[in-house]
Amino acid sequence: MADSSPPGRTFRGQSQEERVAQRRRQLLDAGLSQFGTRGYHAVSVRDVCTEAKLTERYFYESFQNREALFLAVYNEGVERVRDAMVQAVAGAEREVTQVARASVRAYFATLRQEPLLARVLLFDVLTIGAEAGNRSLMATTSFGDMVAAIIEDLYPELRRHKLDPHWIGNALVGAAVFMAMQWVMSDFKAPIEHMVENCAVLVDGLVALVRAQNDARDASPRSSRRKASEREVS
């Protein structure tokens, strides 16, 4: 039904702003359903509007074109994944291997719970064009930065060992994303915990390396002399 009420007036108990927001929500939900089921290139604006039960007039009220809707769906998906990971990390024991497992578990679980979103985030975004590709790169980079910040906070001595949290964060995120792509393509055949352990083993290796280098530094003659000097002073 057309919304013919004057701007600023309520209609059926809703303001104009509320009605616009509701229609936008309907289009976003329909977009995720259509793109996640059929793929971006098989979906038209009319298909989305039919599922949303809205006319095309209301589509263009909120989105310039089909790609704009896709990017809005993509952005919402990225934030859902990010929120799940941040919440998981906040509740994890403050130890890097536990933080790693909590974050990747949240990542894989969100994709498993929302397979339509997994297709949008991992596959279709790479097939649309330059803007969507850049959006994907920015999202991946932001996750890499988030992981790097966590690693540096838990292991501030990394740079002493000539290890860069920035590149480690990007490496871990890149591995997790490629694992997720293969997992989704297999129709989520492996259990979530199997994916978690096979991804977190990369962090386990990092922890083992840092500990070995710390032990080697502590056992060096220079370190031994410094500790002896500190004991004499005390």
pLDDT in tens, 154-202: 888 888 888 999 999 999 999 999 999 999 999 999 999 999 999 999 9
- 59 and 162 inside one domain: no
In a domain, 223, yes or no: no
Question: Residue 108 maps to which CATH number?
Answer: 1.10.357.10
Question: Residue 48 maps to which CATH number?
Answer: 1.10.10.60
pLDDT for 5 beyond 60? no
For residue 6, the 8-state DSSP code is: P
What pLDDT is recorded for position 211? 84
Query: Domain range holding 162?
Result: 70-218
- 91 and 54 inside one domain: no
Contact 126, 136 (CB under 8 A): yes
In a domain, 3, yes or no: no
What pLDDT is recorded for position 229? 56
- 41 and 76 inside one domain: no
Distance CA 107, CA 40 (A): 23
In a domain, 4, yes or no: no
Kindly report the number of other CB atoms within 10 A of residue 111's CB atom: 24
Contact 110, 84 (CB under 8 A): yes
**Confidence bin at 26 (pLDDT 50/70/90):** very high
- 93 and 203 inside one domain: yes
**Confidence bin at 217 (pLDDT 50/70/90):** confident
- 29 and 143 inside one domain: no
Q: What's the distance, CA 217 to chain centroid?
A: 37
- 139 and 104 inside one domain: yes
Residues 6+ apart with CB under 8 A from 20: 61, 62
In a domain, 231, yes or no: no
* AA letter at 108: F
Percentage of residues in the chain with pLDDT exceeding 90?
75
Contact 173, 147 (CB under 8 A): yes
pLDDT for 97 beyond 80? yes
In a domain, 234, yes or no: no
- 101 and 207 inside one domain: yes
What pLDDT is recorded for position 233? 52
**Confidence bin at 226 (pLDDT 50/70/90):** low
- 55 and 158 inside one domain: no
Q: Tell me the CA distances in angstroms from 22 to 15, 16, 160, 187, one per residue in order.
A: 11, 10, 53, 33
Q: What total number of domains does the chain contain?
A: 2
Distance CA 15, CA 36 (A): 31
- 134 and 197 inside one domain: yes
In a domain, 33, yes or no: yes
In a domain, 225, yes or no: no
- 52 and 76 inside one domain: no
